[in-house]
Amino acid sequence: MAPKAAKGDVLQQKSPAEFFADNRTIAGFDNPGKCLYTTIRELVENALDAAESISQLPDVDITIEEISQTRLNKMRGVTSHDRIDEELYQDYETEDAKQKRLAREAKELEKLEKAAAKSGSTAAVDAKRKELEAKRAAQASRGEKTFYKVTVRDNGMGMAHKDIPDMLGRVLSGTKYGVKQTRGKFGLGAKMALIWSKMSTGLPIEVTSARRGSASRSYFKLDLDIQRNQPNVHESKLLDNPDGWHGAELSVVIAGSWTYYRAKVIKYLQQIAVITPYAQFNFAFNAEDEKNSLALRFARRTDTMPQPPKATKHHPSSVDLELIKRLASSTAASSLTSFLAKEFDCIPRDLAERIVAEVRCDPSTAPAELTPKQIVALHDLLHQLRFDPPDGGHLSPAGEYNLRLGIMKELRPEMVATHQGAVGVHEGHAFIVEAAVSVGGKNIKPGLNIHRFANRIPLLFEGGSDVVTRTALKRIGWSSYKINQNSDKVGVFVSLVSTKIPFKGAGKEYIADDVEEIQAAVRAAIQACCLQLKSKIARQQAAREQRQRKKNLTKYIPNVAAALFAVLETVAEQRGDENAAKRRRLEPDHALVVNGVRSGEVTEAKLAAKLQEHVEQIDVDMALEYQLQQGITDIAKVDAHLMPAAARHAYGPEQHCGVGVIRLLRAL
């Protein structure tokens, strides 16, 4: 007998919007701070997709306006009242508790001041004072929360007036579901921002948008009916578009935490500037208190934009039963043969005919009339056959040039190497891995600094589980490339592009480490960069060692000269002592030096100068020898011509040095 349903077990259904509202974490909307970060990120990525899809160099303006609870209440038409019963509030403190707290704080401060007097550093005292001040300010604001109006404006393709409500007010709706490399994929991001704004402030989203060449701009104020998963339009109108603007501007008011996520937001902007150096980002944080405001500009560094990604067809080895059914019912092809040739990648007509024969179907069968059994047979067959892999021509990697440029611009490393791997395939989807490894630079910590990108989105969270982090930490023998992974300032940049990135979760925060093909490609790309750096590092190390050796030798010259001169003086003074002279039979060269000391021609200063000259010579000889070892003598022999300063000139004497010959010109 089936178990009886408990009294409360009522069958319920959830709309997708309700599901994601209940499980915000899946989409990267964890706590208020993270929600602020993810909102910015989703809107910025939509802006970039929109500009790139029309081959427009992206201009993205991001503004965050801080809004106090009192101001938010005014916007919502809620009146703020004075408190009637203080004791009801979370921040209520009895007089007794307040006195105790003040005494405790004073004690803590006194202790820190005493320690500071001893150590001479007041840093800890200052930090404590700041903390107490912040606490006092929070108390004075009576636990008021802070809210943020996030506005992102772009110069992209814009949205059609009639589509805006569905695109932004219906979860799981979008234009990026095809087989194409895009930053967005799930049809969720902008709607999650709206859901969060509904949950935290109750305010709708405002959208202004225009398509290219449009005489009007669309304006919408809308929210999302979470239970029904459908847009709820508050206001819509068409405005004039006198300057022919195209793009979109979206504004949401949400709860957040700038203080805790400030660093992450800035890092995200820096990273997106690295991977999209052809975009310009203007960022402004407008605080309630002007002194806390911040403005950043990430200028465009190049007008060279990677070729935009192209939509491609499904690769036959990656399709599932449902997809075949869907394609069969929606295709314009009238026969099974043309269906296979038209709807799938890597199936030319002749192969399509052979497949149809193999599946034992009538080639003229209309795809929509395939029986469930025939579809199962076709599916099984497609997974058994051998097809050419996708060629990757539809992908749009950042390009080594852009990657290098972005890194140079943001980090200014001492050296950087880049590499783009060959096209790989995972579940029928082509992918390309690009990598860069840099050494040195500003604002970079010693050790491995790993930067991850997927479809040109920076990934900042869950790094520990990501394929790039794991590969860099565990699968690369850094020392064999003369890189010290603990003390050198190493930047590792890996960018993966594909029509399907195996993200774990809709929040797109990290890429699984369990896809062998991707793992191997990441490893190979990092290794290729390291190999390029190895010889540069070796050269740099040798030069450094040489400089150090020269420095050490030079340091001892005064002492050695003094000691040597003292010995020579002693020998010179033994002129009259016949027995001593007999005992000390001098080599002719040495006798010359001793005589020089006697005559005053050889002095301590002259000895020091000679030693210095010798050290310089060793330096030059070693440099030459090193170059010979490195086999770069040909480079040293390359002729270099300088423009004479005057039209009439004569050749001067040649100057020979260890590494080359310089012939000077004399103007006549």
Ligand X SMILES: Nc1ncnc2c1ncn2[C@@H]1O[C@H](COP(=O)(O)OP(=O)(O)OP(=O)(O)O)[C@@H](O)[C@H]1O
Contact 283, 267 (CB under 8 A): no
- Please state the closest distance from residue 40 (CB atom) to ligand X, in A: 12
User: Judged by CB under 6 A, does residue 37 bind ligand X?
Assistant: no
List 438's β-bridge partners, or say none. Answer: 416, 491
Q: Which of 32, 33, 58, 189 binds ligand X (CB under 6 A)?
A: 189
Separation CA 219–CA 165 (nearest Å): 11
Query: Tokens 């992206």 appear where?
Result: 58
The response to whether 610 counts as a known ligand-binding position is no
Smallest gap from Cβ 146 to ligand X, in A, equals 25
508 is in an annotated binding site: yes
Shortest Cβ 549–ligand X spacing (Å): 57
Alpha-helical regions (H) of 397-515: 400-411, 467-474
Q: Is 43 annotated as a binding residue?
A: no
241 vs 208, 211, 246, 389, 574, CA distance in Å? Answer: 11, 10, 9, 47, 104
Strand partners, 457: 454
**Strands 429-439 and 424-426: what pairing?**
antiparallel
Residues 555-574 binding ligand X (CB under 6 A) are none
DSSP string for 505-555:
TTTT--B-S--HHHHHHHHHHHHHHHHHHHHHHHHHHHHHHHHHHHHHHHH
Map the footprint of ligand X across residues 49-68, applying CB under 6 A.
50
Pairing of strands 447-454, 457-459: antiparallel
Bridge partners, 495 (sequence order): 434, 453
- In the bound complex, what is the minimum distance in angstroms from residue 35's beta carbon to ligand X? 15
Closer Cβ to ligand X, 50 or 537, answer by number: 50
Number of residues forming the site for ligand X (CB under 6 A): 22
Q: Which stretch binds ligand X (CB under 6 A): 149-157, 374-382, 393-401, 468-476?
A: 149-157
Is residue 207 within the footprint of ligand X (CB under 6 A)? no
Q: Applying CB under 6 A, which of residues 62, 159, 476, 497 lies at the interface with ligand X?
A: 159
- For the bound state, the minimum distance from the C-beta of residue 247 to ligand X, rounded and expressed in Å, comes to 7
Task: Give the span between the Cα atoms of 605 and 565, in whole angstroms.
Answer: 9
Which residues within the stretch 233-262 sit at the binding site for ligand X (CB under 6 A)?
Answer: 248
In the list 15, 38, 46, 455, the residue contacting ligand X (rule: CB under 6 A) is: 46
Residue 184 in marked binding region:
yes
According to the binding rule CB under 6 A, does residue 203 interact with ligand X?
A: no
Stretch of 129-137, 183-191, 420-428, 587-595 contacting ligand X, by CB under 6 A: 183-191
- Compare residues 19 and 626 and give the one whose CB is closer to ligand X: 19
At its nearest, how many Å lie between ligand X and the CB of residue 30?
16
247 labeled binding residue: no
- Answer yes or no: is 202 a known binding residue: no
In this complex, which beta carbon is closest to ligand X, that of residue 188 or of residue 530? 188
Q: Is 157 in the site for ligand X (CB under 6 A)?
A: yes
Cα separation, 86 vs 487, whole angstroms? 56
Q: Is 609 annotated as a binding residue?
A: no
Q: Which alpha helices (DSSP H) does 26-92 contain, by range?
A: 32-52, 69-76
Q: Does 156 bind ligand X (CB under 6 A)?
A: yes
Q: Is 344 annotated as a binding residue?
A: no
Please name which of 154, 148, 125, 144 lies closest in space to residue 60, comparing C-alpha atoms: 154
The response to whether 190 counts as a known ligand-binding position is yes
Task: Confirm whether residue 431 is marked as ligand binding.
Answer: no
Q: Is 176 in the site for ligand X (CB under 6 A)?
A: yes
**Least separation in angstroms between CB 244 and ligand X:** 17
C-beta closer to ligand X: residue 36 or 341: 36
Strand stretches in 83-192, DSSP E: 146-153
Residue 175 makes contact with ligand X by CB under 6 A: yes
Q: Does 21 participate in binding ligand X (rule CB under 6 A)? A: no
CA 199 to chain CA centroid, Å, is: 31
Burial 94-119 (b: 16+ CB within 10 A, else e): eeeeeeeeeeeeeeeeeebeeebeee
CB of 271 to ligand X, least distance (A): 17
Q: Which tokens hold the place of 667?
A: 């103007």
Beta carbon of residue 189, minimum distance to ligand X (angstroms, whole number): 3
Q: Is 189 annotated as a binding residue?
A: yes
Asked if 459 interacts with ligand X (CB under 6 A), we say no
Check residue 206 for interaction with ligand X (CB under 6 A): no
The enclosing H or E element of 302 equals none
Instruction: Assess 469 for contact with ligand X (CB under 6 A).
Output: no
Asked if 174 is part of the footprint of ligand X (rule: CB under 6 A), the reply reads yes
CB-based contact 205:54 (threshold 8 Å): no
Binding mask 428-447 for ligand X (x = CB under 6 A): --------------------
Q: How far is residue 665's CA from residue 417's CA, in Å, rounded to a whole number?
A: 39
Mapped onto helix, strand or coil, the DSSP state of residue 67 is strand
Rg (CA), the chain: 36
Q: Considering only CA atoms, which of 151, 149, 148, 147 is closest in space to residue 250?
A: 151
Q: How far is Cα of residue 636 from the mean position of the Cα atoms in its chain?
A: 38
191 is an interface residue for ligand X by CB under 6 A: yes
- According to DSSP, the β-strands at 294-298 and 424-426 are unpaired
| H or E element, residue 138 | helix 123-140
Assigned token pair, 409: 């611009």
Q: Per rule CB under 6 A, is residue 185 in the interface with ligand X?
A: yes
Site string for ligand X, 581-610 (x = CB under 6 A): ------------------------------
The answer to the question of residue 34 lying near ligand X (CB under 6 A) is no
d(CA 380, CA 184): 31
Which residue is closest to ligand X by CB?
184
Residues 370-409 binding ligand X (CB under 6 A) are none
**Residues near ligand X (CB under 6 A):** 42, 46-47, 50, 154, 156-159, 167, 174-176, 184-191, 248
Q: Which residues belong to the annotated binding site for ATP? A: 46, 154, 175-176, 184-191, 508
Q: Which residues belong to the annotated binding site? A: 46, 154, 175-176, 184-191, 508
